[in-house]
Amino acid sequence: MVLGLLWLGIVSSPGWDRVRQTYFDADDFRAAWGPVTSAFWLNVRLFLVAEVFILVIALVVAVVRVVPTPAMAPLRLLATIYTDVFRGTPTLLVVLLVGFGVPALRLAGAPTSLFWLGVIALSLSYGAYVAEVVRAGILSVHPTQWASGRALGLTYGQTLRHVVLPQALRRQVPPLINDFVSLQKDTALLSVIGLVEALRQANIIGQRDFISTPLVVAAVVFIAATIVIARFADWLTLRSMRRQAGVV
Amino acid sequence: MRLTPLAAAAATLALAAACAPADESSSSDDAASVSLDQCKPADLDLYKAGTLTIATDSPAYEPWFADDDPANGKGYEGAVARAVAEKLGFAPEKVTWVTQGFNEAIKPGAKSFDFDINQFSITSEREKVVDFSSPYYKAKQGVITLKDSKYADVTSLAGLKDAKVGAQVGTTSLEATQQLGLTTDPLVYDDTTKAAQALQNGQVDAIIADVPSAFYLVAAELDGAKLVGQFEPRTGESEEFGLLLDKDSPLTPCVSAAVDALQDDGTLEKLQQQWLSDAVDVPELSQS
């Protein structure tokens, strides 16, 4: 009912005809579909590669921050500074600084490929977010679990590896997926350094022809990808719940 | 100010009637044209009554504007906007300048200005969504490289086919990259400043921009870069800049009449020589 009224309100508004012409034109949609979806393949590759790096960075940073040994203090400080800096910096800014700033240094061996610069920028930024998720997950495991691990004669590292992390990681799945959906969308930020990904491709067509339908195409593609990730997450969660409950 | 459909229809009718058979002295044979006599401030259906509201993007840069102040009448577009306003009977103090992003100006919906002057290329696709006045400028495309680039001495477009080329999204420059027969797809940037950074970093070998912007980039934003040459864009429509108005704006015929008058009396040519004179000396790149 509410949706119907909203729909009616939009459709009967004086600007609707022009909005429909610019945003929802079937011919423009079909014409933009091919180029935008093939450009989206770049987003998928960026996302998948960055995700691997992010998980590694996050796990290392989180573990460094929870291990209480005094010997780790300098590393712990470093990890804290890293999270503070990259969580506090807008992702777009990190992308610009890495994408244009790193090559400007002209360091021998520094990557010049825009793809890898993009992956580095996203990994740095998201690594900080995800590290906090992982750390929270580790801290959420009840202290008695640590104690029982140690009581069984496991070392601190073994307790972490075999007792705490398996429980922690399982709890983190929903927030992790949340961050990865966000990462998947933020691959579009890499268009600013020159990569022609789905949003930029839509932009190119849209600005050439003064239409916005290609943007809707890009939105549809991003939403579709998000739904795939969300259902995968649901499946993972269900599976782990079944296993924990002993029902297979 | 929102127009009721009735008022809009009435205004259109009034204009149509005004320019019908009586209009014999007009130099243009365009059916929609009106003579400037019918475009007095009192006759115009303005965004804000009593003042002509002109929009452009911020920052307003050279050679189109000067000192980031569109209202000072300096720079080519600054001077053209002032001249158009004067033709329509608005002294400089009767003009209000507003900031309007390039991309926002072309979205559907009511406009918050009378016209926008921001190097909008006129294309038939764009004309479906907005109105354009008669063109006030025809731009060629310039090729910029670093001075020590292996492409710094090319004399033809074919010489650039293996180069990595950058251009700004939504510009004729990006369309014109198709004329180079490139072996790798061009890289696309939000603005020419980012393309310039990529050139400086060696991420692209050359950037394409319209000649006046190219001059600005070489002079102000780039170190050790040069304007290698210029060429006439062939893909799409010829590169002409027009003033942008809301779709079916009742002002379009009057604004066009003002631009036509400036064209006829030589003002546009004079202003181009004054503000865009450098563009004359750039070598022409062969297209075959």
The nearest CA of chain B is from the CA of A15 a distance in Å of 6
pLDDT band at B262, cuts 50/70/90? very high
pLDDT band at B279, cuts 50/70/90? low
Q: What is the pLDDT of residue A137?
A: 92
pLDDT band at A123, cuts 50/70/90? very high
Residue A175 has pLDDT above 70, yes or no: yes
Which residues in chain A are closer than 8 Å to B168, comparing Cβ atoms? Answer: none
Q: What is the pLDDT of residue A90?
A: 94
pLDDT in tens, B265-278: 989 888 888 888 76
Q: What is the pLDDT of residue B16?
A: 42
Q: What is the pLDDT of residue B235?
A: 61
The nearest CA of chain B is from the CA of A80 a distance in Å of 32
Q: What is the pLDDT of residue B280?
A: 59
pLDDT in tens, A214-241: 999 999 999 999 899 888 888 888 887 7
Domains and CATH numbers, chain A: 24-245 (1.10.3720.10)
Q: Cα separations (Å) of A105 from A30, A119, B150? A: 43, 18, 22
Q: What is the pLDDT of residue B22?
A: 37
Q: What is the pLDDT of residue B21?
A: 39
pLDDT in tens, A7-35: 878 777 777 777 777 788 888 888 889 99
Domain ranges of chain B: 5-138+240-281, 141-231
Which residues in chain A are closer than 8 Å to B175, comparing Cβ atoms? Answer: 208
How far apart CA B203 and CA A193 sit, in angstroms, is 10
Q: What is the pLDDT of residue B276?
A: 80
Q: What is the pLDDT of residue B11?
A: 47
Q: Cα separations (Å) of B20 from A38, A192, B12, B13, B248? A: 52, 50, 12, 10, 18
Once rounded to an integer, what is the mean pLDDT over residues B84-95?
90
Residue A151 has pLDDT above 80, yes or no: yes
pLDDT band at B13, cuts 50/70/90? very low
Yes or no: say if B56 and B119 are a contact pair by the CB < 8 Å rule: no
Yes or no: say if B212 and B276 are a contact pair by the CB < 8 Å rule: yes
Which range has the worst mean pLDDT, A68-77, A127-136, B33-42?
Answer: B33-42
State the best of B111, B169, B247 to mutate against chain A, taking most chain A CBs within 10 Å.
Answer: B169
Which residues in chain A are closer than 8 Å to B202, comparing Cβ atoms? Answer: 103, 112
The nearest CA of chain B is from the CA of A49 a distance in Å of 21
Which long-range contacts link A199-203 to residues 24+ away (Cβ below 8 Å)?
A200/A39, A200/B169, A200/B188, A201/A35, A201/A36, A201/A39, A202/A32, A202/A36, A202/A39, A203/B169, A203/B170
Q: Do domains B5-138+240-281 and B141-231 have the same CATH topology?
A: yes
Has domain B5-138+240-281 been given CATH number 3.40.50.10800?
A: no
Interface of B with A (CB under 8 A): 5, 103, 106-110, 123, 125-126, 128-130, 166, 169-170, 174-175, 185, 187-190, 194-195, 197-198, 200-204, 247
Which residues in chain B are closer than 8 Å to A118, comparing Cβ atoms? Answer: none
pLDDT band at B140, cuts 50/70/90? confident
pLDDT in tens, A31-72: 889 999 999 999 999 999 999 999 999 999 999 998 888 888
Report the top-level CATH class of B141-231.
Answer: alpha beta
Which ipTM value was assigned to this complex? 0.71
- Do A207 and B190 make contact, defined as CB atoms within 8 angstroms? no
The nearest CA of chain A is from the CA of B94 a distance in Å of 30
Which range has the worst mean pLDDT, A164-178, B35-49, B114-128, B229-243?
Answer: B229-243
Q: Using N-to-C axis directions, what is the helix angle for B252-264 and B267-275, rounded to 10°?
A: 80
pLDDT in tens, A181-212: 999 999 999 999 989 999 999 988 888 877 88
pLDDT band at B29, cuts 50/70/90? very low
Once rounded to an integer, what is the mean pLDDT over residues A96-105?
87
Q: What is the pLDDT of residue B33?
A: 65
- Do B109 and A104 make contact, defined as CB atoms within 8 angstroms? no
Residue that wins the pLDDT comparison between B75 and A9: B75
Nearest by CB to residue B189, choosing from A14, A194, A209, is A194
- What's the mean pLDDT when you consider all of chain B? 82
